[in-house]
């Protein structure tokens, strides 16, 4: 009988008896049981299509390289889209709110991410509807119950143990909360950046991540907050830097405060929660390296939106039907005022897969799923 392409033979002699072991290390190294995704518009694949919200992307030219608009806030795929396929899934993880995300489909994973979402429930009020992290966890609890009803509790825990849990949260807690034009002047007078992060964001996030662990998650990849001071929207809405190509220092400073505390939080959770692997994915470092060396990655533009309508950097108006789209989307780091292009998401996903410990720690995904 022929072996599968990824199988190997190991021949051993035990007590004089020749034994042939057939194993599938290569397959197991790059195969996950399922993918469960939590986050904001960086990871949303269409949940906001089903709620009343100003944060939507289910219209052109969004999805122009995906084949159609789906609710993804980019021209192509999200980072978890790419990771899921790289790790052996046969299709993209569907949005929780889609009516077709039921039955056996959920056994391969579900995406709960929502554009405008944050760690804090009050984050993103400017968008009206959004599904913040607490509610996303409520939705996962519903999925968990449905999976248990299909395959039983023991098999469900086995499924979760072999699954990838991806999370990106925090950007909106700054952009549409602490730094919001409506709230920022009052809030910044009352609460320092250090207090906002240390007394509000990190303790709430800790509780949310522990709740995910209690519900069965074991391999949890948590992306930090990228250099939000460099996105086209923040460049264009900060008048003091409107005539320069610099990033906005305050926004990046806030991200760095959060990221430093997040890394410590994940280390603490790894030490205190038995059997857990919380992976710190340093998107901030990866993205800054891309911005600093964008030409070496094949990009021509690292500060403006490809899909643009107004603003020096195209950062004033969200991407939509009236927007103009750049001639070559592969040459732009940013797709729209807030989000990276498909090409950047591919680079980030590759670093998640194979990066060193400066980019993703304590282990990259290739090593994590070999274990």
**Candidate list 44, 236, 336, 342, residue with the active-site label:** 336
Does residue 213 contact residue 269 with C-beta atoms inside 8 Å? yes
Phi/psi of residue 361, each to 5°? -140, 150
> How far is the C-alpha of 82 from the C-alpha of 42, rounded, in Å?
13
**Candidate list 35, 41, 53, 114, residue with the active-site label:** 41
> How far is the C-alpha of 144 from the C-alpha of 173, rounded, in Å?
27
> How far is the C-alpha of 46 from the C-alpha of 57, rounded, in Å?
8
Does residue 231 contact residue 176 with C-beta atoms inside 8 Å? no
For the stretch 286-292, contacts whose Cβ atoms lie closer than 8 Å and that sit 24 or more positions apart, written own/partner, are 286/347, 286/348, 286/351, 286/355, 286/359, 287/226, 287/227, 287/230, 287/340, 287/344, 287/348, 288/227, 288/230, 290/333, 290/344, 290/347, 291/227, 291/230, 291/333
> How far is the C-alpha of 346 from the C-alpha of 35, rounded, in Å?
17
Other Cβ atoms within 10 Å of 154 Cβ, number = 9
Helix (H) or strand (E) holding 8: strand 8-14
| Residue 339 is a catalytic residue | yes
| Residue 41 is a catalytic residue | yes
**Candidate list 166, 303, 339, 341, residue with the active-site label:** 339
> How far is the C-alpha of 326 from the C-alpha of 357, rounded, in Å?
35
C-alpha angle 69-71-77 in degrees, rounded to nearest 5? 75
> How far is the C-alpha of 117 from the C-alpha of 38, rounded, in Å?
10
| Residue 253 is a catalytic residue | no
CA distances from 314 to 75, 176, 242 (A): 15, 19, 12
Of 191, 107, 194, 196, the closest CA to residue 144 belongs to: 107
> How far is the C-alpha of 114 from the C-alpha of 172, rounded, in Å?
11
Other Cβ atoms within 10 Å of 175 Cβ, number = 25
Residues catalogued as catalytic? 41, 336, 339
């Amino acid at each position: 009988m022929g072996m599968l392409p990824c199988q190997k033979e190991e021949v051993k002699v035990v007590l004089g008896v020749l034994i042939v072991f057939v194993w599938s290390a290569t397959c197991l190294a790059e195969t996950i049981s399922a993918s469960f995704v939590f986050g904001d518009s960086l990871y949303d694949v269409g949940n906001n299509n089903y709620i009343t919200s100003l944060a939507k992307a289910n219209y052109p030219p969004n999805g122009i390289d995906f084949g159609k608009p789906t609710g993804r806030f980019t021209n192509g795929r999200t980072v978890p889209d790419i990771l899921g396929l790289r790790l052996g899934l046969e299709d993209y993880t569907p949005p929780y709110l889609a009516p077709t995300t039921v039955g056996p489909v959920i056994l391969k994973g579900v995406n709960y991410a929502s554009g405008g979402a944050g760690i804090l429930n009050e984050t993103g009020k400017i968008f009206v509807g959004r599904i913040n992290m607490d509610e996303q966890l409520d939705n996962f609890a519903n999925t968990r119950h449905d999976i248990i009803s299909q395959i039983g509790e023991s098999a469900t825990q086995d499924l979760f143990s072999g699954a990838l849990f991806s999370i990106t949260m925090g950007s909106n807690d700054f952009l549409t909360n602490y730094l919001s034009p409506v709230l920022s002047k009052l809030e910044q007078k009352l609460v320092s950046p250090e207090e906002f992060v240390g007394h509000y964001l990190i303790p709430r996030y800790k509780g949310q991540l522990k709740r995910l662990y209690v519900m069965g998650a074991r391999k949890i990849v948590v992306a930090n907050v990228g250099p939000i001071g460099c996105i086209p929207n923040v460049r264009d809405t900060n008048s003091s830097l409107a005539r320069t190509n610099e990033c906005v220092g305050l926004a990046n400073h806030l991200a760095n405060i959060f990221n430093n505390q997040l890394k410590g939080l994940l280390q603490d959770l790894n030490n205190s929660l038995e059997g857990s692997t919380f992976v710190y994915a340093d998107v901030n470092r990866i993205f800054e390296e891309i911005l600093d060396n964008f030409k070496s990655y094949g990009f021509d533009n690292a500060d403006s939106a490809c899909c643009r309508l107004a603003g020096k950097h195209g950062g004033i108006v969200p991407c939509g039907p009236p927007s103009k789209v750049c001639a070559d989307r592969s040459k732009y780091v940013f797709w729209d005022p807030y989000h990276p292009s498909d090409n950047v998401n591919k680079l980030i996903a590759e670093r998640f897969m194979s990066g060193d410990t400066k980019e993703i720690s304590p282990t990259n995904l290739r090593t994590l799923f070999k274990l």
